[in-house]
A and B are shown apart, each in its own frame.
Chain A
Amino acid sequence: MGSGGRWGVAARTVCEFPGSLGFAESLGSRVGSFRPAMGLELYLDLLSQPCRAIYIFAKKNRIPFEMRTVELLKGQHHSDAFAQVNPLKKVPALKDGDFTLAESVAILLYLCRKYEVPDHWYPQDLQARARVDEYLAWQHTALRNSCTRAMWQKMMFPVFLGEQVPPETLASTLAELERCLQLLEDKFLKDQDFLAGPHISVADLVAITELMHPVSAGCQVFKSRPKLAAWRQRVEAAVGKDLFQEAHAVVMKAKDLPPADSAIKEKLKPLVQVLLQ
């Protein structure tokens, strides 16, 4: 399956083929045959927030890369082939020649440095950079967590997994999301145009892609938050509306996913446990 993306890069799907490297080549070469050294490869599923941040960043900065789609809902991140790229079995992951890298923050910073992107993405200025670092550190256990849970508990559980989440659990999750959104506004954004100051940075990309998760589930994240809504407009404008929409096409259609079959449900069981805690 390949589709020409905006930059003409074919999206190849990582599938599980026993006894092969696990890649379906859309060109004529045999599966399992020797592959010549590749340039930068980004292993992404645009269903995932950190993957979207990296996708937007790479495209916005015209960083040439091969897109390797890893479909989480099909359990493709559990394949042996993908474990060669990321033994942590998670997306996003990067492969640059022999060098592999996990963790979206690490990947974003690697791309910033290697491709010498404009300064505002990760400013040289000591204090401005510290603000970006501060946001990137905070979000792991705060906004990331609550956005993932909100999206899954409100939408993916009923729609995709055919399971209802107890109303108290969902209420508690949405309250936690509210709390994080308040911190995002009060502690990080304040009266600035962007999270780390007057210009867009990787912090804004990471944050906006998080917030689109509950948005895709129908949460009115921006409705009563004019400050955040205005910031969102600025981020979208800075990124480019087309690119922003392209990156979010998958997650915005998640509510129309057909229900998962029992094999997939089984595969996703451990994830389900974690998301309901």
Chain B
Amino acid sequence: MGLELYLDLLSQPCRAIYIFAKKNRIPFEMRTVELLKGSRGSKDTVGTWGVRRRQDPGQHLSDAFAQVNPLKKVPALKDGDFTLAESVAILLYLTRKYKVADHWYPQDLQACARVDEYLAWQHTTLRRSCLRALWHKVMFPVFLGEPVSPEMLATTLAELDVTLQLLEDKFLQNKAFLIGPHVSLADLVAITELMHPVGAGCQVFEGRPKLAAWCRRVKAAVGEDLFREAHEVILKAKDSPPADPTIKQKLMPAVLAMIQ
């Protein structure tokens, strides 16, 4: 087999990898790991770069997937016998192996450090607050049928606000992209995060013209079609049918651990 990417486009880091691989015309087999879908009758669709396989629900928890990633998370990569977890590691691996254009992860010492700085910072900040915003605002009530108190939601959205401010003030500042004049891995990782609360109906860019302008630039750099394609799933998240009780029971512990 060639390169296989185990992704669920519901997940922010999966979207970043999907966009990166496609934008750079990296040939890969798409292995869809459906984190949430309960229906066994999901259709096989042939994507541009590969075949979407029919999967069982909560498939990331299966033994088969654990062979690919013992951490039981998406995204995951399999390249021959080599398996790799963690989106940042995967993005860097693809960057190096496929020798993509320099701006994605510059050779320049300081520019590179800026990308590393963003990729390190986001794990416990933007990633976390975007995930919680989506789950508290939409996924808990709509998909899992679990109400979320107004205070909890308010706290989550306030945290999101703080991290968005840091994103603007510390990282973006007055630059075109997060680390300078060109789009990099940092922008991909950031934009796919922000689409999580957008998918939940949060007006992330309202009152933030700087971020809104940056978002437009990133979309243009990536390509509007590709951007839209990568975000189809998340933008339909609020229309998810409620999970049936067995799925809910299966997923609950993992979900609670994920959004801590």
Interface residues of A (CB under 8 A from B): 87-88, 99, 101-106, 109-110, 113-114, 126-127, 129-130, 133-134, 136-138, 140-141, 145, 183, 186-187, 277
Given contacts A88-B166, A103-B117, A187-B70, 5 further A-B contacts (CB under 8 A): A102-B121, A133-B86, A133-B92, A134-B85, A140-B123
The interface-forming segment of B107-115, B140-148, B207-215 is: B107-115
Residue pair A106, B116 in contact (C-beta under 8 Å): yes
Residue pair A138, B71 in contact (C-beta under 8 Å): yes
Q: Please, which residues of chain A bring their CB within 8 A of the CB of B71?
A: 138, 183, 187
Residue pair A110, B109 in contact (C-beta under 8 Å): yes
Give the CA-CA distance A101 to B112 in the complex, in Å.
11
Residue pair A105, B116 in contact (C-beta under 8 Å): yes
6 contacts between A and B (CB under 8 A): A87-B169, A109-B116, A110-B113, A133-B88, A138-B86, A277-B260
Specify which of A87, A137, A141, A186 lies most central, judged by the most chain B CB atoms within 10 Å of its CB. Answer: A137
Q: Please, which residues of chain A bring their CB within 8 A of the CB of B88?
A: 133, 136-137
Q: Please, which residues of chain B bring their CB within 8 A of the CB of A114?
A: 109
Nearest-neighbour CB distance to chain B for A110, whole angstroms, equals 4
Q: Which 10 A-B pairs have the closest CB atoms?
A: A106-B116, A133-B89, A137-B86, A103-B120, A140-B123, A134-B89, A106-B117, A137-B88, A105-B120, A110-B113
Give the CA-CA distance A133 to B110 in the complex, in Å.
19
Q: Please, which residues of chain B bring their CB within 8 A of the CB of A110?
A: 109, 112-113, 116
Residue pair A103, B96 in contact (C-beta under 8 Å): no
Q: Please, which residues of chain A bring their CB within 8 A of the CB of B87?
A: 137
Q: Please, which residues of chain A bring their CB within 8 A of the CB of B113?
A: 99, 101, 106, 109-110
Nearest-neighbour CB distance to chain A for B179, whole angstroms, equals 11
Residue pair B121, A88 in contact (C-beta under 8 Å): yes
Q: Please, which residues of chain B bring their CB within 8 A of the CB of A140?
A: 120, 123-124
Mask of B119-142 contacts with A, CB within 8 angstroms, 1/0: 111011000100000000000000
Q: Check if B43 is an interface residue, CB within 8 A of chain A.
A: no
Q: Interface of chain B, helix or strand or loop or mixed?
A: helix
Interface residues of B in 48-71 (CB under 8 A from A): 70-71
Residue pair B82, A127 in contact (C-beta under 8 Å): yes
Residue pair A138, B85 in contact (C-beta under 8 Å): yes
Nearest-neighbour CB distance to chain A for B98, whole angstroms, equals 11
Q: Check if B40 is an interface residue, CB within 8 A of chain A.
A: no
Q: Which residue of B82, B117, B121, B123 is within 8 Å of A137 (Cβ)?
A: B123
Residue pair B123, A141 in contact (C-beta under 8 Å): yes
Q: Check if B25 is an interface residue, CB within 8 A of chain A.
A: no
Q: Please, which residues of chain A bring their CB within 8 A of the CB of B97?
A: 126
Residue pair A126, B93 in contact (C-beta under 8 Å): yes
Nearest-neighbour CB distance to chain B for A240, whole angstroms, equals 27
Residue pair A104, B120 in contact (C-beta under 8 Å): yes
Give the CA-CA distance A187 to B166 in the complex, in Å.
34
- With A102-B121, A104-B120 known as contacts, the answer to whether A88 contacts B86 (CB < 8 A) is no
Nearest-neighbour CB distance to chain B for A186, whole angstroms, equals 7
Q: Which residue of B86, B96, B117, B119 is within 8 Å of A101 (Cβ)?
A: B117
Give the CA-CA distance A183 to B70 in the complex, in Å.
9
Q: Please, which residues of chain B bring their CB within 8 A of the CB of A126?
A: 93, 96-97
- With A87-B169, A87-B170 known as contacts, the answer to whether A137 contacts B89 (CB < 8 A) is yes
Q: Please, which residues of chain A bring their CB within 8 A of the CB of B84?
A: 130, 134
List the A residue with the shortest CB-CB distance to B73.
A138
List the A residue with the shortest CB-CB distance to B13.
A137
Give the CA-CA distance A106 to B110 in the complex, in Å.
10
Give the CA-CA distance A20 to B71 in the complex, in Å.
49
Give the CA-CA distance A130 to B89 in the complex, in Å.
6
Give the CA-CA distance A113 to B106 in the complex, in Å.
13
Interface residues of B in 153-209 (CB under 8 A from A): 166, 169-170
List the A residue with the shortest CB-CB distance to B123.
A140
Give the CA-CA distance A109 to B120 in the complex, in Å.
11
Give the CA-CA distance A101 to B128 in the complex, in Å.
22
Residue pair A133, B120 in contact (C-beta under 8 Å): no
Q: Please, which residues of chain A bring their CB within 8 A of the CB of B170?
A: 87-88
Give the CA-CA distance A113 to B70 in the complex, in Å.
31
Residue pair A99, B70 in contact (C-beta under 8 Å): no
Nearest-neighbour CB distance to chain B for A140, whole angstroms, equals 4
Q: Please, which residues of chain B bring their CB within 8 A of the CB of A109?
A: 112-113, 116
